[in-house]
């Protein structure tokens, strides 16, 4: 089986964007790939997190992975901070990356352009991401369009390490879904739906009250026309809704366009609100079942143990190659 690895930061409540762009595809891959899925809680620290919220968001994220269908028997689920080797490998790999390479990362550049105060963690987080990935030798890393650049840097660093110290890391490939990799904010469809956004009106959270989520769909910004047609440039709002509709109903966009030909946005939005409501209801039911008792703690412990075995082996290999250790572990 080919191996796949990915993670999500617990930086807010999980959104429909996270579900469509990441969690749902993870579920679909689990029968075909050996999966390693983690909660990227070390990465969440690059921006201040209120401790109580961070704990809750972490617990919810792991619960939602499972509630959405990830099976801990098929997929190794763990907290990044439970596997200490990530931080250590991150340091070694951080020493191999240049300031220029890190300065070219879009997330960092955007913050510079906005004149925001930038923590060292934001600048250096691609090094930790390189460690997260290279530790497990995955064949594929499913990421959103905006993370492709990070996987490219990761490939460069892996090649640099391999050529300096001999073959150690597999060179991973980014895997970007053709649809759904960029679900937009419902109130501002030119901006990505993000869990750390301050306003929640344009953002559907997986644990939203069902009626609230339906209202958000019905009040989504569209355009003055009433033609249900996919055209992300000229009709970003309706195109975003069509993409959500298509993925959640497993139907082609063309088929949906045909169904609503001449019917206007009202009926389309009402039907979509139902589809979204049903999807969330299913996940929330399972979420309630698994968040009682010690089930999640047990899953995380088991996942961390499995991940640590691989991580320790890889870190030992790296440390032998770079000459930092003198004993054979």
Does 13 sit near ligand AQP (CB under 6 A)?
A: no
Stretch that binds ligand AQP, among 6-14, 216-224, 225-233, 313-321 (CB under 6 A): 6-14
Q: Which of 2, 9, 170, 192 is catalytic?
A: 192
Is 111 designated active site? yes
Does 237 sit near ligand AQP (CB under 6 A)?
A: no
- The 3-class secondary structure across the chain, one letter per residue, is CCEEEEEECCCCCCEHHHHHHHHHHHHHHCCCCEEEEEECHHHHCCCCCCHHHHHHHHHHHHHHHHHCCCCCCCEEEEEHHHCCHHHHHHHHHHCCCCHHHHHCCHHHHHHHHCCCCCCHHHHHHHHHHHHHHHCCCCCEEECCHHHHHHHHHHHHHHHHHHHHHCCCCCCCEEECCCCCCCCECCCCCCCECCCCCCCCCCCCECCCCHHHHHHHHHCCCCCCCCCCCCECCCEHHHHHHHHHHHHHHCCCHHHHHHHCCCCCHHHHHHHHHHHHHHHHHHHHHHHHHHCCCCHHHHHHHHHHHHHHHHHHHHHHHHHHHHCCCCCCC
Is 192 designated active site? yes
Does 64 sit near ligand AQP (CB under 6 A)?
A: no
In the complex, least distance from residue 185 CB atom to ligand AQP, rounded to whole angstroms: 8
In the complex, least distance from residue 143 CB atom to ligand AQP, rounded to whole angstroms: 5
Does 79 sit near ligand AQP (CB under 6 A)?
A: no
Which residue from 4, 22, 27, 77 is in contact with ligand AQP, where contact means CB under 6 A?
A: 22
Comparison of 58 and 222: residue with beta carbon closer to ligand AQP = 58
Question: What is the contact mask toward ligand AQP in residues 179 to 198, using x (rule: CB under 6 A)?
Answer: -xxxx--------xxxxx--
Question: What is the contact mask toward ligand AQP in residues 147 to 166, using x (rule: CB under 6 A)?
Answer: x-------------------
Which residue from 4, 13, 21, 186 is in contact with ligand AQP, where contact means CB under 6 A?
A: 21
Binding residues with ligand AQP: total (CB under 6 A): 23
Does 18 sit near ligand AQP (CB under 6 A)?
A: yes
**Where does this chain bind ligand AQP (CB under 6 A)?**
8-9, 11-12, 15, 17-18, 20-22, 40, 143-144, 147, 180-183, 192-196
Active-site positions read 111, 192, 195
């Amino acid at each position: 089986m080919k191996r796949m690895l990915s993670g999500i930061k617990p930086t807010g409540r999980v959104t429909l964007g996270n579900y469509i762009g990441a969690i749902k595809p993870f579920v679909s891959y689990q029968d075909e790939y050996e999966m390693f899925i983690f909660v990227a809680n070390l990465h969440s620290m690059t921006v201040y997190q209120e401790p109580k919220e961070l704990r809750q968001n972490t617990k919810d994220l792991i619960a939602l992975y499972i509630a959405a269908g990830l099976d801990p028997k098929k997929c190794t689920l763990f907290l990044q901070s439970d596997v200490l080797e990530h931080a250590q490998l991150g340091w070694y790999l951080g020493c191999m990356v240049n300031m220029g390479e890190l300065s070219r990362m879009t997330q960092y550049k955007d913050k510079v352009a906005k004149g925001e105060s930038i923590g060292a963690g934001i600048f250096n987080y691609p090094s930790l991401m390189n460690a997260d990935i290279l530790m497990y030798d995955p064949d594929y890393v499913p990421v959103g369009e905006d993370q492709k650049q990070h996987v490219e840097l990761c490939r460069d660093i892996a090649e640099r390490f391999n050529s300096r110290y001999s073959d150690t890391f597999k060179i991973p490939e980014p895997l970007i879904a053709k649809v759904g990799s960029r679900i937009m904010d419902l109130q501002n469809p030119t901006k990505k739906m993000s869990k750390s956004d301050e306003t929640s009106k344009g953002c559907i959270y997986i644990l939203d009250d069902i009626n609230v989520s339906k209202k958000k769909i019905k009040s989504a910004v569209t355009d003055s026309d009433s033609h249900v047609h996919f055209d992300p440039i000229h009709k970003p709002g309706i195109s975003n809704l069509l993409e959500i509709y298509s993925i959640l109903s497993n139907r082609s966009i063309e088929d949906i366009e045909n169904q609503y030909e001449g019917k206007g946005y009202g009926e389309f939005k009402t039907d979509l609100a139902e589809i979204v409501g049903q999807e969330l209801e299913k996940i929330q039911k399972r979420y309630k079942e698994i968040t009682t008792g010690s089930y999640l703690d047990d899953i995380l412990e088991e996942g961390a143990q499995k991940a640590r075995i691989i991580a320790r082996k890889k870190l030992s290999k790296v440390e032998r190659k770079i000459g930092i250790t003198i004993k054979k572990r």
